[in-house]
Structure 1
Amino acid sequence: MNRLQLAKRLAAMSVVLPAAASFIWEELLWLHALALLWLAGAAICWIGIERKHHSGQMRRTIHTLQAASNRTLNHHRHDWMNDLQVLYGYIRMQKPDKMVECVEKIKDRMAEESRIAKLGEPALIHYIQSFRTLTNAVQLRVEIAEGVHLTELPVDSSGISESLIEIMNAYRFAAAPALGEPAVLTMKLSMDDHALYAAFYYQGELTSEQRFASKINQQLEGAPLRPVEAGQPYGNMLLRAEWRA
């Protein structure tokens, strides 16, 4: 028990004695007034402690988010520096074909990050961008079709975002430790005239397929994303969310 919790309990317990005294000696008006003053003081103390506790939690949460953002930013900065160094090397060696190939790769990455940012759900965007800072056992690849902006589509974008994050987490926690190359999880988001589709392709081993299947079924229960077919293998899973009327 920390000091703030102890102080809150003491403030609450301190009310018992004056309240009991006021109940026993009902005829003493000054005792009732004293009990009310004590109760007011204890309430003020409780509120002050609660605000301080909430403020401390907010500071810790902000610090955690800032640290996660810094790790994500460092990873992205490292990737961009690597690409620029490779491009600079091709320029110095005067290899125009390799230069074009490198520039096309950079353009593809920029387009991919732009499509991720346009999903519109901050939690999902942050999760995808920071995935590499969470695990080394699974490499995430994301392919998003043009026009898939969750917050602009007639779907429960918040519920879909939560489901996608939970499914990716299920793969992340179930991935078996790899001795060589990490497992690869590919998530593809697409749509047609009737629904949004989320496809997951997993290349790697799981610690327990049964526990993974149970976790997926639990996460999809009541979720806007539903399996297109029952009994899909963990390595090839297709989900669908119908447009809302």
Structure 2
Amino acid sequence: MMFRKMTLTALAAILSLAIPAVTVFIWHRYWWPLILFVLWTFVVCVIVWGMERRKHREHCDRLLAHAQLSAIRTLSHHRHDWMNELQILYGYLRLNKLDKAVDVVDRIRVRMDHDSKLSQIGIPELASFLLSFRTVCDTMRLDVDMQDGLHLDRLPYEAEKLSRAVIGLVNVFRFRAVSSISGENVLKLKLSCAEGGLKIVMAYEGELAAADSVIVELEKCLEGIGLLDQVDEPAEKTRQARTMVIHFPLPA
């Protein structure tokens, strides 16, 4: 595995150590082959270190570029939503329909409060995923309802594992959601915390591909950190309607 991650040049530099090693073996009675081997090894180490450092820097640059592009897309999508709301508000004001304008302002206030809660969830990776979900998925709408004052970083869980688990749960439905003319696919998440730990209620309504494997995939996402406590299967299979209760016990 380690050699697979190396570039061909770095691997060739390491293999070239066979040359001074052979000289040491052949002319073992002389001192110069040993010096050659030491110098050659030093040069190879410098080359490999430099190339691996450059490779790591390029990888970080790609991750940064991806994060920046994701942020731009999210901001652009939110700007488009706000412009639509403002145009509707402007239209109602011009028509002097103040009651309708108040409804639009209330809707904007609710959305701003919702986004504020998500941004303060306490785990940057998870907050970024939830806030940008609309920009990366066009087959399913994600609605998140959080308990007031819920900050996941203040709970005794490993933030990385918890974030990976929640993102994995959402992606199970995201990658199975199938566009349909019969209605919109919606996944609702409700996060709350009690003395027993964190609880997530997932309610999905819409079309699903490979629906029979959903439970198995959800349990894989929860391995070692959460439990699938309750599953309400749909009575009929034409349009899926599932409700799942997932519990994350507090660490002992």
TM-score norm. by structure 2 comes to: 0.89
The alpha carbon displacement at 1:162 in A equals: 1.9
Matches within 5 A, 1:161-176: 161-176=163-178
* Aligned match of 1:226: 227
Aligned mates of 2:79, 2:112 — CA distance in 1: 13
2:48 aligned with 1:52? no
Aligned mates of 2:116, 2:163 — CA distance in 1: 17
Matches within 5 A, 1:1-245: 5-179=7-181, 181-223=183-225, 225-229=226-230, 231-233=231-233, 235-244=242-251
Aligned mates of 1:214, 1:172 — CA distance in 2: 15
Is the 8 Å Cα contact of residues 219 and 228 (structure 2) preserved in structure 1? no
Q: Which amino acid aligns with 2:138?
A: N
TM-score norm. by structure 1 comes to: 0.91
**Paired residue secondary structure (1:203):** strand
Is the 8 Å Cα contact of residues 227 and 239 (structure 1) preserved in structure 2? yes
**Paired residue secondary structure (1:120):** coil
Q: Which amino acid aligns with 2:31?
A: L
The alpha carbon displacement at 1:83 in A equals: 1.0
**Paired residue secondary structure (2:132):** helix
**Paired residue secondary structure (2:180):** coil
Is the 8 Å Cα contact of residues 155 and 242 (structure 1) preserved in structure 2? no
Aligned mates of 2:249, 2:16 — CA distance in 1: 57
* Aligned match of 2:238: none
The alpha carbon displacement at 1:131 in A equals: 0.8
Deviations 1:158-199 (A, max 9, x none): 433221110000010111232454311111112334332211
Q: Which amino acid aligns with 1:137?
A: T
Q: Compare 50-59 and 177-186 and name the one that shifted more.
A: 177-186
Quick one: percent identity of the two aligned structures?
Answer: 33
The alpha carbon displacement at 1:88 in A equals: 1.2
Deviations 1:23-42 (A, max 9, x none): 22101111211121111111
Is the 8 Å Cα contact of residues 116 and 125 (structure 1) preserved in structure 2? yes
The alpha carbon displacement at 1:243 in A equals: 4.0
Aligned mates of 2:158, 2:30 — CA distance in 1: 62
Is the 8 Å Cα contact of residues 123 and 152 (structure 2) preserved in structure 1? yes
Is the 8 Å Cα contact of residues 187 and 204 (structure 2) preserved in structure 1? yes
Q: Which amino acid aligns with 1:227?
A: L
Cα RMSD over matched residues? 1.9
Q: Which runs of 5+ in 1 are unaligned?
A: none
Q: Which runs of 5+ in 2 are unaligned?
A: 234-240
